Homo-oligomer: A and B are copies of this chain.
Amino acid sequence: MAVTVVGSVAFDALETPHGRRERILGGAATHFSLAASYFTDVRVVGVVGDDFGPEQLAVFESHGIDTSDLSTVAGERSFFWSGRYDQEMQDAETLETQLNVLAGFDPELSAAARECSVLFLANIQPDVQRRVREQCPRPALVGLDSMNYWIASARPALMEAIGLVDVVVLNDAEVRMLTGEPNLPRAVKQIRELGPQAVVVKQGRYGASMFSDGGFFAVPGYPLEQVVDPTGAGDAFAGGFFGYLDRHTDGGFGDNTLRCAAVYGSVLASFAIESFGSERLQELTFAQIEERFEDFRRMTRFESIPLALRTSG
């Protein structure tokens, strides 16, 4: 049992109404790995520059994340992203993107990384996602994320990659943009027709929805009184979701298992946004995760009270 995740490991500069960080550990694969590490063994496949030092490596190692497939390109710098959020704390405004080492990223996976039970293709160039997928002979489950940039610039490659995975994780706007269909259930139907069994739609502060053979399932957003930094919430969601599922590869992925995975994803996402970058994800305890899972149960429960409706009409 192990999750392999391929994606960016980066430095981020972040600015929100609650403060700023000049250069902290970021990247989709980082947030994902940390979140998933609370559930299962994780290997991260990525590339960094020689600005990535022992301090950053220690974050992964202290969570038992295998970094053998994290390669370093000497003389180059790591992927860098700088973004700003306004009071609404919704979409980030990108201030700067430096691809650096990520420009030529096209990994050859180690034998161990290929033998994963769950593979997650975080948001990177869709052809790279496809080639990584093709290197893994028999994962029990493959997930994929993407973003508006690839939908606009590499749509056919993205469609092909989506056809090779079991679960697609996108946000609301990306689902509509990918399909050109404003109605969400119809848009999701189009994506499922490409191959995936399940589509998970991230909806920011409104939570997440999942469409699968088990029907429609929804998890609300966690009602935090202070959101410090939304960066990485979607990747933390995916980490919790696929990390939890990796514990259930034996029994297949029944409907309730997928639902619990979506709730654990929401739990990890809700923690992620409590601090800058991955700060909160680095210091969670199991008790906190389980306690918040119970919060989600309480937030959604209701017991039908039999009601003889009056006749009318």
Contact = CB atoms under 8 A, between A and B. Distances in A.
A62 B311 CA distance: 11
A22 interface: no
A201 to B, nearest CB: 10
Interface string A280-313: 0011101001100110011111111101011111
A225 B188 CA distance: 10
Contact of A284 (B182, B297, B310, B313): B313
A227 B263 CA distance: 27
Contact of A182 (B41, B88, B218, B259): B88
A299 B262 CA distance: 13
Nearest to A86: B182
Contact of A304 (B88, B218, B260, B289): B260
Number of copies: 2
Nearest to A34: B313
A191 to B, nearest CB: 14
Contacts of A309: 38-39, 286, 289-290
A302 B209 contact: no
A242 to B, nearest CB: 14
Contacts of A262: 302
B305 A256 contact: yes
A63 interface: yes
A226 interface: yes
A175 B64 CA distance: 44
A250 B209 CA distance: 37
A65 B206 CA distance: 36
A84 interface: no
A224 interface: yes
Given A283-B313, A304-B293, A299 B217 contact: yes
Given A289-B309, A302-B259, A218 B220 contact: yes
B185 A224 contact: yes
A137 interface: no
A312 B35 CA distance: 11
A88 to B, nearest CB: 5
Interface of A: 37-41, 62-64, 87-89, 182-186, 189, 203, 205-207, 209, 211, 215-218, 220-221, 223-227, 244, 247-248, 256-257, 259-260, 262-263, 282-284, 286, 289-290, 293-294, 297-305, 307, 309-313
Q: Which 10 A-B pairs have the closest CB atoms?
A: A218-B220, A259-B302, A206-B206, A286-B309, A185-B223, A216-B223, A87-B182, A300-B300, A64-B312, A185-B225
